[in-house]
Amino acid sequence: MLPLVDKPLIQYSVEEAVASGIESLLIITGRDKAAIENHFDISFELEELLKEKNKKELFEQVRSISDIARITYTRQKQALGLGHAIYQAKDFVADEPFAALLADDVIDSTRPALAQMIDVYERFEAPVIATMQVEGEAISRFGVIDADEVEPGVYRIKGMVEKPAYEDAPSDLAIVGRYIFTPDIFEAIEETKPGSGGEIQITDAMQKLLAKRPFYAVRLDGTRHDAGDKLGFLIATVEYALKRPDLGEAFRTYLRSLDL
């Protein structure tokens, strides 16, 4: 629920999914995350108060949050890695393809990042991973794909390496927090042995699935902000505030006034 400007991070992911055509969402939560459910629920008291005070614009903003999509929640009782978290969606998605979005990865793009990926899924009917080019030593902080480009910005994956040394990275294409999976990912997760700390890594499960079926990657058109990193979060806050019609000009003036 950490706010980026004036919306929690999770809302950016929800809005991206909805803008990409997703109608039903499952949010996987942990302990003490009731605030997420409350945020997307109808706030009768607040709505009535805004009506009484004739705050029409604020009322519409509050109402739009609860109307945004059909949202279901499930709890990951133990933090056992991204693979384990995604496995919690097995009953929800049944035998349908589905997308997984990590809220800490905020993608600023003209066209929603997930929509770019759905285009590729619809052409190839195979799992799709989001990637972005990362230069230099920073590549060692990411999972990295080894792949052949099949069309501009689209790659067929041959392999993946988790956080390689710069000199060992098979490419400059880093995996970022957007995935489209087919239901067979759940079997791959079941077959994946826990690693360090008992965590089930989604990269390991994807490697297993890669041995059985094609996997594709999209080089996203946009900018990724790592809101799970302190500096990344600050940069995202500045960038998003500057883009806001109601804040941008005044905030830019303030930044220019600083003796930096």
Domain boundaries, the chain: 3-228
65 pLDDT more than 90: no
182, 156 Cβ separation under 8 angstroms: no
pLDDT of 257 reads: 95
Architecture per CATH, domain 3-228, reads as Alpha-Beta Complex (3.90)
More reliable by pLDDT, 154 or 3: 154
10 pLDDT more than 80: yes
pLDDT of 66 reads: 65
62 pLDDT more than 60: no
C-beta neighbour count of 215 within 10 angstroms = 25
What DSSP element (H or E) covers 8?
strand 7-8
pLDDT of 42 reads: 64
Place of tokens 């998605």: 93
Rounded Cα–Cα distance for residues 5 and 251 (Å): 12
pLDDT of 8 reads: 87
Q: What's at 199, amino acid-wise?
A: E
Indicate the DSSP class of residue 194: P
Instruction: Give the angle 143-207-126 at the CA atoms, nearest 5°.
Output: 100
184, 213 Cβ separation under 8 angstroms: yes
Per-residue pLDDT reduced to its tens digit, 11-31: 899 989 999 999 899 999 877
Per-residue pLDDT reduced to its tens digit, 156-174: 999 999 899 999 999 999 9
79 band by pLDDT with thresholds 50, 70 and 90:
confident
Q: What is the pTM of this model?
A: 0.89
What's the Rg (C-alpha) of the chain? 20
Report which of 138, 156, 137 is spatially closest to residue 146, judged by C-alpha positions. Answer: 156
Sign of CA dihedral 67, 83, 107, 158: negative
Mean pLDDT score of the chain: 90
Place of tokens 């005044």: 250
128, 217 Cβ separation under 8 angstroms: yes
Mean pLDDT of 59-65: 63
Q: How far is CA 52 from CA 44, 55, 199, in A?
A: 12, 8, 50
Report which of 160, 157, 161, 211 is spatially closest to residue 184, judged by C-alpha positions. Answer: 211
143, 134 Cβ separation under 8 angstroms: no
Per-residue pLDDT reduced to its tens digit, 205-215: 999 999 999 99
Residue 155 CB partners (closer than 8 Å, separation 6+): 131, 145, 147, 148, 149, 173, 216, 217, 218, 219
224 pLDDT more than 60: yes
Structure tokens at 155: 């790659």
Residue 88 CB partners (closer than 8 Å, separation 6+): 28, 74, 75, 76
Mean pLDDT of 196-205: 88
Mean pLDDT of 130-138: 94
Mean pLDDT of 33-54: 68
